[in-house]
Structure 1
Amino acid sequence: FTELGNSRSSDNIYAYNLFKSDLTTSLFLNTRGGGSYGPVYRTKAYNNTAYLTGSSAQGVVCTDCGTNILTFKNNIIVAKWKTGYANAAFDESNNIYWLGSVTNQLPISSSSLIIDPKFVNPSAGNFHLLEGSPAINSGIGESLTAGFTTDLDGANVANPPERGAYEYGSVVVTPSPSPSSKGDANGDGLVNEDDYAIWLANYGISLSGSSNGDFNLNGKVDGIDYVIWVTTYTRATPLPTIVPTPTVTTPTATPVSTPPAAGNHLIISIGDISRTTGSPSLDVANSIKTLNPEAIIMTGDYDQGTGTLSDILAYPDKLYGPKPGGLYPKIYPAAGPTHDVASCTDQLGYSSYWGKDAFKGYSFDLGAWHFISLPSAATRYGCDVAGVTAWLKADLAAHPNKCIFAYWHEPYFTSPTSSHPADLDTRPWLDALLAAHADILTAGHQNGNFEAFYPQNASNVRDDINGIQAFVAATGGQSPYSFTGIGPNLISRSSGAYGPLVFNLNDNGTYTWQFIKVTGPGIAPSPSSGSGVCR
């Protein structure tokens, strides 16, 4: 509480400290720029790690803040309630914020991240960094200039330093010696890219095609091998395999030739494919072919052109077709504006190829799940939106006992980017879906970005009982937009990580989701998977 010292408490520096607390109202740093307890000038915090799990825990609080009040750099702040609050900009950069249930209330710089820092084992008090942590080599050298050359372990600090109190590798972390039967190599209860990294570290990476990691024998170990590994070890019934079974002691993948068990539906959601038949769009398409889903939900922007038939045939048809073969029979599209259709009368290419009216909704069923495709292009151009809304309400009324999965192009729930805010014009459709207790809503539009949100209502209030769980999966290959803010009730997000959003929808009303990074420079979201229950 440096704010209690008034100006007599100026020029304090806090560096390379670990703060861990489960107290209800714990707080890492509180300082002030004015009022009866301030000003307190030039407080500086470098490379601290704060892990605060109390229900009202806060990371950093700075009232009447300013650049001459607080310098805050290279810190990792994990706080259950608020990662931070400041009512004015301050000298902030290269921090990591995570966990807060209340939207981060700090004016953060573009170099700071809202992402899981990937500690080794925080529940056991181990706050060293796992391989692949976004904190590694991503700090700024100002802490070194200030004279802090060793971390909390006494290890020498590199340039650039890590974010947080520990340099990566300052304590050797030994991964689990062998993966479990469910693929959970690090024992954290999840099967994700962290387990894959450990698994490959134990069983070797080779470019020869003989490595256990190179499942598809293409001479490299990459995201497509991860797709195969994840689907083998996370699904109740393994996928039909087209590659040799990996020769490890445990687990042993058993090839099967039957489709997934009845009552389980493997669904992909993907959108915003780049105008190329090469990487990264090709890598994503190949990963989807490997997954062999029952249905592919495509949320628009299929070639980043103008939606002509020649453009569609030149790009998405070559990646996912060719029509009528390939994955084409499994694709259920939705039309977005600009790149799919340009006006209420311009849909010749779209309708000719997809066999759908670009400005009307349609629906279909898979087991206990009812899918609804809606044309956000209609809201952009004003193409009988009232008619689509009336159709939607009638369709929902005709399917009262189904779990509902809806999708369109422009997201209502999203973090703003350099190109697009949230699209509130789809509110009438969202209201109808919420009234019918719809379960899942996916969208695209935010090129190169993935987002997952907690269930919420149309006013952006979290509601686990009656809310809808929304996702943005604009990860088909198009270059990413930059995030400029944080969407309410965000679980996780990524930018520049390409791959499919995979759903396992069960006829008993439960579902799981997982974003699988296949390629791209971006860091995979964390968490990258979750589960839910049909409402």
Structure 2
Amino acid sequence: MNGVRNFDADSPSALNGAAITRLVQTNQIDAFLGLGDFQYAVPHCADYLKYWTPLWGGTKPKLYWVSAPNHDWRPGRNEDLDNFMNGQCPGAPAKAAINQQRGFIGNGDPYSKDFGNWHFVFLSSAFWQYDPEHAEALTTWLDDNLTAAQAAGKYLAVVYHEPYFTSDTAVHGRADDHKPWIDVMYKHRVRLTLSGSQHNYERSCPVNNEDQCVSDGMTAFQVSTGGVTLRPFTSSPSFIVKRFDQTHGFLRMTLKDDGSFSWNFVRTSGSGKGTDAGTRPAPE
């Protein structure tokens, strides 16, 4: 979301944070899903307070966050994200929405949250980098969690930082190690996934765990247009149906209780005119 030591009120990050903050303050959205990374490059409490809070702090009352790898959280190097989100950093007492509801959530702790008839799971991609055995164990947790939600008649969505359904850039490719999670998601017919990391925007067709466009697949959104320098694409996967890399902004979504949903990318700055809007109907 925010660049190194950036608190410029005219920066892409500031314009994006201000636009979302206005929606929070006027109660026009029910939730803001923070996909990470929140603050570059190796943030500690003082960085979240000095740089992120002036530009994005107004989103906290509606913020549901997920631990991202590398920049927000790397064990033994920068471990303050969870403290910051729970209002435990000196000078930053505000809590994120999920922390107001659940209390302290440790970096990497998985959790789920229902929004109406939708069940969202938040998973930390960081474990695939820092503790693969723990990531494998979370596959069982994910399977059990989605089984219970599906039995309760919920429509399913998963939030995780490193994208699996994505185009390459010069910096990142797809997160192949996430495949066990993807298999479980398709097993339970997850309808929607949200990821970040790539510094651009992408949307997939409804896709299965074998990269095929299918009617009962996942619509995978990769939204990493918060304010840090954007990156061009270096590959063209067949399952990506919309993408752009010169526009900062955020994705606004409306979820219906029948499993349908609509989306609209809101541009806040950038040299490009990237846009994306559409609707996925309820499952048959």
The answer to whether TM tops 0.5 is: yes
Query: Are 1:452 and 2:203 counterparts?
Result: yes
Q: 1:534 to 1:409 in 2, by over 3 A?
A: farther
Measured in 2, the distance between the counterparts of 1:333 and 1:534 equals 27
| Residues 501, 515 of structure 1: 8 Å contact kept | yes
* Percentage of pairs with the same residue: 29
Tell me, what secondary structure is at the counterpart of 1:480? Answer: coil
Q: Distance in 1 between matches of 2:78 and 2:42?
A: 10
Query: For residues 244 and 44 of structure 2, what CA distance do their matches in structure 1 show?
Result: 31
Helix, strand or coil at the partner of 1:427: helix
* 1:529 matches 2:272: no
Contact 2:79–2:107, Cα closer than 8 Å, also in 1: no
3-state SS of the aligned residue for 1:371? strand
Q: Are the aligned partners of 1:350 and 1:356 in contact in 2 as well (CA < 8 Å)? A: no
Could you say what secondary structure the match of 2:179 adopts?
helix
Corresponding pairs, count: 255
Give the distance between the partners of 2:233 and 2:79, measured in 1 at CA: 34
Paired letter, 1:303: Q
Aligned ranges 1:334-345 → 2 under 5 Å: 334-343=66-75, 345=76
Please state whether the residue corresponding to 2:142 is helix, strand or coil.
helix
Distance 1:483 1:419 in 2: 10
Partners of 1:352 and 1:368 lie apart in 2 by: 30
Q: Indicate the residue corresponding to 1:475 in structure 2.
A: 225
In the alignment, what sits opposite 2:162? 410
Structure 1 residues 54-82: Cα deviation after superposition (integer angstroms, max 9, x where no partner): xxxxxxxxxxxxxxxxxxxxxxxxxxxxx
The structure 1 segments of at least 4 consecutive aligned residues displaced by more than 4 Å after TM superposition are: none
Q: What's the RMSD between the two structures over aligned residues?
A: 1.6
Name the residue aligned to 1:284. Answer: 16
Structure 1 counterpart of 2:95: none
User: Partner residue of 1:372?
Assistant: 121
| Equivalent residue number for residue 353 of structure 1 | 84
Distance 2:108 2:138 in 1: 8
CA distance in 1, matches of 2:267, 2:59: 20
The CA distance in 2 between the partners of 1:421 and 1:352, in whole Å, is 30
CA distance in structure 2 between the aligned counterparts of 1:388 and 1:319, rounded to whole angstroms: 33
What is the one-letter code of the residue matched to 1:479? T
Aligned to 2:269: 519
User: Residue deviations 1:323-365, cap 9 Å, x none?
Assistant: xxx321211111121101123x556301211242222211111
295-304 or 307-316: bigger deviation: 307-316
The one-letter amino acid of 1:359's match is G
Of the three residues 264, 270, 274, the one matched with 2:3 is 274
Structure 2 unmatched ranges of 5 or more? 86-103
Residue 424 of structure 1 corresponds to which residue in structure 2? 176
Deviations 1:114-163 (A, max 9, x none): xxxxxxxxxxxxxxxxxxxxxxxxxxxxxxxxxxxxxxxxxxxxxxxxxx
1:48-447 aligned within 5 A: 272-275=1-4, 276-278=6-8, 279-292=11-24, 293-321=29-57, 326-343=58-75, 345-346=76-77, 348-354=79-85, 355-382=104-131, 384-400=134-150, 401-447=153-199
Equivalent-residue separation in structure 2 for 1:369 and 1:305 (angstroms)? 34
Task: Give the Cα separation in 2 of the matches to 1:457 and 1:507.
Answer: 23
The DSSP-based 3-state class of the residue aligned with 1:523 is coil
The SS at the match of 1:398 is helix
Q: Which whole-Å deviations, capped at 9, do the CAs of 1:73-98 have from their partners, x for residues lacking one? A: xxxxxxxxxxxxxxxxxxxxxxxxxx
Q: Equivalents in 1 of 2:40, 2:79: separation in Å?
A: 16
Give the equivalent residue in structure 2 for 1:115: none
**DSSP 3-state at the match of 1:285:** helix
Q: Distance in 1 between matches of 2:118 and 2:186?
A: 16
Q: Which has the larger radius of gyration?
A: 1
2:263 touches 2:279 (CA, 8 Å); kept in 1?
A: yes
Residue aligned with 2:112, SS: strand
Amino acid aligned to 1:467: G
Separation in structure 1 between the aligned mates of residue 48 and residue 268 of structure 2, nearest angstrom: 23
- CA drift of 1:534 comes to 4.8
Distance 1:533 1:362 in 2: 27
**1:495 is aligned to 2:224:** no
CA–CA separation in structure 2 for the residues paired with 1:399 and 1:519 = 38
The structure where helix makes up a greater share of residues is: 2
TM-aligned CA distance change 1:418 to 1:437, over 3 Å? same
Higher relative contact order (CA 8 A, sep 6+): 2
Q: What do residues 178-214 of structure 1 show as CA deviations (whole Å, max 9, x unaligned)?
A: xxxxxxxxxxxxxxxxxxxxxxxxxxxxxxxxxxxxx
Structure 2 residue 207 is the aligned partner of structure 1 residue 462: no
Is the contact made by 1:404 and 1:439 (CA closer than 8 Å) also made in structure 2? yes
Distance 2:194 2:118 in 1: 15
Tell me how far apart the structure 1 counterparts of residues 156 and 2 of structure 2 sit (CA, whole Å).
25
